[in-house]
Amino acid sequence: MALNRNQINIIFAVIFSITLLVAVFIFGWRGIQEKPPEVTLNIWGLEDRFNFQDNIFGYESLRSNVHVNYQERNPETFEKDVVNALAAGTGPDIIMFHNTWLLKHFNKIVPLKDEQLNKTSFRELYPTVVEQDFAPQDKIYALPLYIDTLALFYNQDTFDKKGVAVTPKDWLDFQNLVPKLIEKDSFGKITKPAAAIGGSEDNIDNAADVALLLMLQAGAKMTNEDFSAATFAQNVNTLSPGLDALTFYSKFTNPNDIYYTWNSDLEDSSDSFSRGNAAMIFNYASKQKEIKSKNPFLNFKVAEMPQPSGSDKAVNYPNYWGLTVTNNSDNPDWAWDYILYTTANEFAAEKYLLASENPPALRSLIQKYVDHPEFGVFAKQALSARSWLQIDKDKISEIISEMINATNSKQLNANAALYQAEQQVTQLMRAN
């Protein structure tokens, strides 16, 4: 049967309408109406661009409308540069964000929308410490690139020479190793310390972090509920965990104590360890490369951080960076889309891990690398890492370091030094 022109036009109109409806169903109305906008995302970070280049290439291939521009910045001035740029309205879309920055900088960043990643999925992806640092309430403010933790670095040759077959599992084991490992000259002067512990930041890397970890392990409550005051000097159920931690820490610098192993005249802890002098130090995974570069022939290994004797629950101390979106960004949804691709996508996150040599943050990668010779200790410890909201990590570290010095020099007794430090941290919190 021959069709006239009107009938043919009607048939074509029906076919076009059906095709349009199918396209809308599959691709969405916006997708067939217009192309995605052209977007440029500027990122400021502290690491070499090499660590991100595979992920940037992968993301730009997936999102052809987005160009990602990564800029490595000076670590010494990074925080100041970010704050000044955001105040001037010239800041980047995305910045690397330290795990202690949230209280200090939450008003400068844009939280992730629930429809992009809800809290339930977030908890399935990352260990508890990430929620403590980046999502302590209802909103997710940043996502981690990796999770580093304090661990025990030890000289295997020294352990073998002294007949020490296993690393210490708890602090009792640790202190009992000190008399076995320390070396002194005929005048009683320390020539090879058993461990870098007990002193301040003046010559011990991460001295404040170790002291704060001991407080957390002892059960100290670091701040009150509304984060308006520090409380680590307060009693908890009639116990004094903060005082116990400081007393334990400082005894390693007391010449009259059998566990004496460190003093303020010794060289920097990392240098001492790299030279083969100090038998043990506490440091982060990020330090391994530097130690190897200083002494490629040093036979050192990494063990888990000692825990309180008899404790059935490990507590470890984190130090890591994530990514977040600044309130300067004109494209916060696209910026978060890139962060999600880089940090929450297992394939992309592993690319970053292998390039940066940082320990994993995703639970799935932690499980995969828990027995890895380089990442294993740090991967395992990420699951038991615990944090506390700090108003300014650098200034708090200075306060804790001064507390240690005041105790060791007998300028103040341990209790007075602890309370003074608590008051100084509280003043810092209330001034911001």
Average pLDDT, the chain: 93
Q: Which residue has the tokens 């030279």?
A: 275
In sequence order, the β-bridge partners of residue 152 are 282, 303
Indicate the fold that domain 34-148+318-382 takes in CATH: D-Maltodextrin-Binding Protein; domain 2 (3.40.190)
Give the DSSP H/E element, type plus range, for residue 43.
strand 39-45
Q: What is the pLDDT of residues 189-216, one digit of tens each?
A: 999 999 999 999 999 999 999 999 999 9
CB 145 within 8 A of CB 358: yes
pTM score of the predicted model: 0.90
Q: What is the pLDDT of residues 111-169, one digit of tens each?
A: 999 999 999 999 999 999 999 999 998 899 999 999 999 999 999 999 999 999 999 99
Secondary structure class of 263 (helix, strand, coil): coil
Q: What percent of the chain has pLDDT over 70?
A: 92
The yes-or-no verdict on residue 84 having pLDDT over 80 is yes
Question: Cα(204)–Cα(264) distance, rounded to whole angstroms?
Answer: 9
Average of per-residue pLDDT across 316-328: 98
151-317+391-431 has the same fold as 34-148+318-382 = yes
Q: What is the pLDDT of residues 17-33, one digit of tens each?
A: 444 344 444 444 444 44
Question: Cα(204)–Cα(267) distance, rounded to whole angstroms?
Answer: 9
Helices of type H across 275-413: 288-294, 332-344, 346-356, 363-369, 376-382, 393-408
How far is residue 332 from each of residues 130, 328, 411, measured CA to CA in Å? 21, 9, 52
DSSP state of 251: G
**3-state DSSP helix/strand/coil % of the chain, to nearest 5:** 45, 15, 40
Question: Cα(109)–Cα(117) distance, rounded to whole angstroms?
Answer: 17
DSSP state of 270: H
How far is residue 375 from each of residues 148, 365, 369, measured CA to CA in Å? 9, 10, 6
Q: How confident is the model at residue 11 (pLDDT cuts 50, 70, 90)?
A: very low
pLDDT at 143: 98
Q: Which residue has the tokens 């010559």?
A: 203
Higher pLDDT, 312 or 61: 61
The yes-or-no verdict on residue 5 having pLDDT over 70 is no
| Domain layout of the chain by residue ranges | 34-148+318-382, 151-317+391-431
* Nearest one of 193, 153, 168, 196 to 291, comparing CA atoms: 153
Backbone angles phi, psi at 49, to 5 degrees: -60, -25
Residue-wise DSSP of 164-176: --S--SBHHHHHH
The CATH number given to 151-317+391-431 is 3.40.190.10
Q: How confident is the model at residue 34 (pLDDT cuts 50, 70, 90)?
A: low
